[in-house]
Structure 1
């Protein structure tokens, strides 16, 4: 199904601002939280200290400082997805959704990598930054590079970043080395921000039936009938200039199975069988499968942000477990986040090229019948359930129904991002055999379900990267929001992107 959806206008967003002058936009890329989520949702929690969860390192410790600013960055993304409280001087959704948040994290970690590499050497600079000819503090370079990149992508959070930078720089001994590091960090941030100016990310998010007109035929994506989230999130994201790929269509996935095929029927009946909510729609999903669905979610809800935040947490944990030094960690996080940024543009290019419907529409509308959408899918092996209600992506830290994400199904963004993450880790450490135990913020003992109840602390353990990768992709089928072919092709696409980034960026100097 080729892309035929109609864009009436692109909207506008201030272009990426450089560091000499930062202005705060009047609203985020989708307006207020209510504009983005629609009238059925309200926040259940607001984390006022989200940027301050981790104490700064004492004295000079570049490895801990890198971990610290990574934590600040991913928590800034979580705060960005949290509705603005009355009287709070902040903008909601400056980098809303998985595509924008992955781009933001790539910018931050490319700036940090180039700053670290300019001192330590050994690898090609992404932005063309030269080796330092004078002694410089790596600590102050990391802090300044991260701060300046963050101020540009989350401008309304600048007061918090300024406070954190001042407190962090105060831990570093004064002198020429410190000042040289600060100057280097500034130049590293400016270099990557200059490269990303006018990269296509400036378009506001289209609104369904206003800026984006869905196709009213079987098989094509339309608005979630349960949540009524009003956005076609990321409809322009496939037009954003990649960081390392030649184009966003370079690894476009093959067409989905024809709706009349046995492959489609198998995927249909799988999600119908295990993806229901268990109340309106019966389900055969086990308690553990329900846990898995929620565990990997991070579906753009308050404090949690989108999947790139989750995958950064996993990458840092594994790097710590493997004993990576500061140069290795800086390079790994640059690789991971660049791969995820390019996986995001690739995935969304494929999503809106094929515009495949989600299970909530596909299962409700698979049989012919009266009404506007009455053609059915033409497959005798599928039987419609007009009231099918998926378990849905969890509305964590929100009051409102679980939901189907507001963009086409094929491929799964989670599967694509996960494929990019875990393939980068395999490429970097040259093994899949990395067992790890991880605490998801969906089950950290603090995050609330949509009834206002805190979920328990429930770590999960994985024997290998591929086990985690597969579970991450399968989780979306348990939620009833994806087909199995979304997972399979998403993982494959993410791996292709990761391999390309690994062999074309941040390369050793031979």
Structure 2
């Protein structure tokens, strides 16, 4: 049977999870973030055509480096990875857009030197953010930085780009001070029918409960879009969902198709790592320039970070048990 990243059997996403994902994806799809709207002025149409922006190679390079740092080196749980990628994505976006223009910055109103290298700025911003939060990966991060700058001609444009990228990163680091990361929050509801508890095989405490209280990147508060409570254990909705999960998730005798099993196995991998690969592939296939690639990355990761925060505040608030627990303790739920 396919399992998730915690080692528990996979099941179709609950209504809470589906609704939470809709929040994040709606923010992204509708562009409901003020900093991602066009900042063109009324005189832009009469201005001379600007030199084409550089390609997106530096954005993809640092996407790979970020995954190597957060996933491989730091071994951070998938639950929190979107937040770190969101910090880096926002800093890189501000560094690039502050020089190239086209869009408003994220919670910043500073423009860089007109002829500065946006590639150098992007590399400097990513380098500084990763080094700030993951100093243990300095060798890897410094090597990636050296490789990025080696692709850019030495000179004033590079120097100005580096300086502006450092400023962009410093702004994000400042914004995220005292945001609740790593706060000593625990899930303390006593075990009872319907209540979450550690699950096999690790039987570990809840992963990153502090995510439920961390300050979002786009939303006003962690509970701004928190969905309502899960259905009662004796309700028709719960009964239907329970039976679907048990039937589809069974190790043997399941009604799953081979394609559904393959799909479950595919999505049992760490999702933020898959998203990073997907963004790199999209950027390459569609030939995005550095501005569009930086915008795509920042919009994706800030929205995904907030969707994850929303999911965790929902998890901590309602404390619903996981399917593996519900199925194994079905004789305790009061549902005939």
Bin the TM-score by the shorter chain.
0.7 to 0.9
Q: Which residue does 1:288 correspond to in 2?
A: 259
Could you list the per-position Cα deviations for residues 110-156 of structure 1 after superposition, in whole angstroms to 9, with x for gaps in the alignment?
11100110111122211414112442111111111111111122221
Deviation at 1:320, TM superposition (A): 3.1
How far did residue 71 of structure 1 move?
Answer: 1.6
Once the two structures are superposed, what CA deviation does each residue of 1:321-366 show, in whole Å capped at 9, x if it has no partner? 3333221111111100000111111110001111111111111112
Say if 1:196 and 1:99 are closer, same or farther in 2 by CA, change over 3 A: farther
Give, in whole Å, the separation in 2 of the partners of 1:125 and 1:229. Answer: 43
Task: Pick which of 136-145 and 226-235 moved more.
Answer: 226-235
Match of 2:28 in 1: none
1:210-266 deviation line (CA, Å, top 9, x unaligned): x54342210010111x21332211222111001110111010112111111111111
SS at 1:135's partner residue?
A: coil
2:330 is paired with a residue of what secondary structure? coil
Question: What residue is the counterpart of 2:232 in the other structure?
Answer: 258
Measured at CA, do residues 62 and 191 of structure 1 come closer, stay the same or move farther in structure 2, by a change above 3 Å?
farther
Is residue 129–residue 191 contact of structure 1 (8 Å, CA) maintained in 2?
A: no
1:171 matches 2:151: yes
Structure 2 residue aligned with 1:189: 169
Q: Which has the higher contact order (CA 8 A, sep 6+)?
A: 2
1:236 aligned partner: 210
2:66 paired residue among 44, 62, 73: 73
Residue 505 (structure 1) aligns with: none
- Correspondence for 1:318: 282
Deviations 1:366-404 (A, max 9, x none): 21xxxxxxxx21222xxxxxxxxxxxxxxxxxxxxxxxx
Distance 1:220 1:134 in 2: 57
Aligned equivalent of 2:22: none
Within a 5 Å distance, the mapping from 1:144-163 to structure 2 comes to 144-163=124-143
Matches within 5 A, 1:62-211: 62-80=55-73, 92-93=74-75, 96-203=76-183
- Which position in structure 1 is the counterpart of 2:245? 271
| In structure 1, C-alpha distance between the alignment counterparts of 2:242 and 2:77, rounded to whole Å | 27
Cα distance in 1, alignment partners of residues 328 and 203 from structure 2: 18
Q: For 1:242 and 1:213, how far apart are their aligned partners in 2? A: 23
Matches within 5 A, 1:247-396: 247-278=221-252, 282-298=253-269, 306-367=270-331, 376-380=332-336
Shift of 1:181: 0.6
Q: Is the 8 A contact 1:62 1:138 kept in 2?
A: no
| 1:167–1:134 CA distance, 2 compared to 1 (3 A) | same
Give 1 or 2: higher helix fraction. Answer: 2
Aligned to 1:464: none
Paired with 1:61 and 1:119, the residues of 2 have a C-alpha distance of: 12
Note the C-alpha offset of 1:77: 2.3
Per the alignment, do residues 203 and 114 of structure 1 end up closer, same or farther by CA in structure 2, a change over 3 Å counting?
Answer: same
CA shift digits 1:418-471 (9 cap, x unpaired)? xxxxxxxxxxxxxxxxxxxxxxxxxxxxxxxxxxxxxxxxxxxxxxxxxxxxxx
- 1:169/1:350 CA distance change after superposition, 3 Å: same
Name the count of aligned residue pairs. Answer: 286
Unaligned runs of 5+ in 1: 1-36, 39-59, 81-91, 299-305, 368-375, 381-510
Paired residues of 1:62 and 1:142 also in contact (CA < 8 A): no
Confirm or deny: 8 A CA contact 1:136 1:176 kept in the other structure: yes
| Unpaired segments ≥5 residues, structure 2 | 1-5, 8-52
TM-score by length of 2: 0.80
SS at match of 1:236: helix
In structure 2, how many angstroms separate the alpha carbons of the residues matched to 1:138 and 1:249? 36
Report the 3-state secondary structure (helix = DSSP H, G, I; strand = E; otherwise coil) of the residue aligned with 1:213: coil
Q: Partners of 1:62 and 1:179 in 2: how far apart? A: 19
Question: Residue 223 in 1 paired to residue 198 in 2?
Answer: yes
SS in 1 for 2:70: helix
